[in-house]
Amino acid sequence: MRGHHDMGGEPAGPVERTEHDYAPWEKRVDALLVLLSDRERNLIRTDELRKNIEAIGPDAYDKMSYYERWITSVTANLLQRGAITADELGRKLAEVEQREKDGLL
């Protein structure tokens, strides 16, 4: 049975082959993945990234961009490994939201 994300061999639109500028947050997600997957930290592996991306429900998956799927997967992986707790994540998100409201972002 195919997962929702598995589009191999299915008709699709053209592939955009031109480079584009990445948003700063997309660059940060990429850098975070590089840091988390290095040999010293070994906090995420490619198969874990893929597994958690494939676990995203169809509705959410279709609404997310490439890097949104990555950060969702990285977050799930860090929670699964116990590297962060849901409470720590919630506190940090609230802190960032407050900085945004205060115009500091």
Residue 20: predicted pLDDT: 82
CA distance linking residue 2 with residue 20, whole number of Å: 31
Residue 4: predicted pLDDT: 67
Contact in structure between 79 and 85 (CB atoms under 8 Å): yes
What are the DSSP calls for 46-59, one per residue? HHHHHHHHHTS-HH
What is the sign, positive or negative, of the torsion defined by CA atoms of 73, 74, 80, 84? negative
**Residue ranges per domain, the chain?**
24-101
Token pair for 101 = 């409201």
| pLDDT tens digits in sequence order for the chain, 105 residues long | 666 666 556 777 776 778 789 999 999 999 999 999 999 999 999 999 999 999 999 899 999 999 999 999 999 999 999 999 999 999 999 999 999 999 987
Q: What is the CATH number of domain 24-101?
A: 1.10.472.20
Query: Phi/psi at 74 (nearest 5 deg)?
Result: -60, -45
Q: DSSP state, 102?
A: T
Residue 46: predicted pLDDT: 93
